[in-house]
Structure 1
Amino acid sequence: MNRSFTLLLPLLLFFVSATACKPTNPTGQDTVGTTNNDKIQMTNRLIIRIEANTFTATLLDNPTVTAFKARLPITLSMRELNGNEKFAELTSVLPTNAANPGTIQTGDLMLYGSNTLVLFYETFRTSYSYTKLGRIDNPAGLAAALGSGNVTITFELE
């Protein structure tokens, strides 16, 4: 018994000291030396660049958004669909929690299925299910910026 205690004591002290030395940031503010993973965890702000136009969006806090943010920045060639949305297939799947929103709002950013990113530029009723990612804060001018055809869009964290 004494020999077991002698072997376990150094191990116990190592774990206690390792957890006690973890840096904390109780303010939640961005700090010097912040890594990309820290930035992913701290921000829910997204910049969307469409040619010369820039929009900001507020992202939700869910596992899909966390996985999406880990892939940013990303530039996608988004295709036109139905005169109300642009979409692009992502190279990997994201976790989903799809539900029918009833009405899509201009500026909604959603995931269809597990790997189709959709940016809506018109408000309309829908019977489809999506996983919500976020929404453009001020979508004025979004439809004009997106145009009627395919477009290249860059998504990055603010």
Structure 2
Amino acid sequence: MRYSFAIVLLISPLLFGAACNAENPEPAIIDPVKNSITIKIGEKVFTATLFDNSTATAFKAMLPLTLSMTELNGNEKHFRLAQNLPTRASNPGTIHSGDLMLWGANTLVLFYETFSTSYGYTPLGKIDDPTGLAAAVGSGDVTVNIDLQ
């Protein structure tokens, strides 16, 4: 009986910590320098910051990438990745120009317009200053290079 009580005392902080982590989402951004990437579209280069989550970590491990992104809805470019990434989708309510997100488990989406949405996405990061992004991506499909900064 004494050993059971001791085991409960030893593992209770682990159980309590897990419960706290389940209730609190992962922090948005950690060290911006360590999580900085570049997104090159034509001659225009944007700096973006990845969020501190397992999806962004898995995505970062795939870099560098050269993607032929497809136009969709006049507000986003998307690309189906070769592998699934961890997901934690939620509805952001509003998408902002420069948001980099994952739809489903393997569709990378770069948004170049701000609008309301009812869809769920897993956030990856965001372009630090999206000025000129819509002009850079244009109205059709586009080649995008993403790399570590």
Q: Shorter-chain TM-score: what band?
A: 0.7 to 0.9
Q: What is aligned with 1:152?
A: 143
> Which stretches in structure 2 are left out of the alignment for 5+ residues?
1-32
2:74 counterpart of 1:91: no
What amino acid sits opposite 1:87 in the alignment?
Answer: H
Counterparts of 2:36 and 2:134, CA distance in 1: 21
Which of 55, 59, 67 is residue 64 of structure 1 equivalent to? 55
Which of 122, 135, 138 is residue 129 of structure 2 equivalent to? 138
- What value does the CA root-mean-square deviation take over the aligned residues? 0.8
Counterparts of 1:89 and 1:43, CA distance in 2: 25
Moved over 2 A (4+): none
1:90-109 to 2 correspondences below 5 Å: 90-109=81-100
Q: What is aligned with 1:111?
A: 102
How far apart are residue 130 of structure 1 and its match? 0.2
Identity percentage of aligned residues: 65
Q: What is aligned with 1:48?
A: 39
Counterparts of 1:87 and 1:43, CA distance in 2: 25
Query: Per-residue CA shift, 1:37-85, capped at 9, x if unaligned?
Result: xxxxx71101000011100001101000110001000010000000000
Counterparts of 1:125 and 1:143, CA distance in 2: 17
1:118-129 to 2 correspondences below 5 Å: 118-129=109-120
Counterparts of 1:138 and 1:148, CA distance in 2: 20
- 3-state SS of 2:136 partner: helix
Q: Which structure would you say has the larger Rg? A: 1
Q: Normalization by structure 1: what TM-score? A: 0.73
> Which stretches in structure 1 are left out of the alignment for 5+ residues?
1-41
How far apart are residue 153 of structure 1 and its match? 0.1
Counterparts of 1:151 and 1:93, CA distance in 2: 22
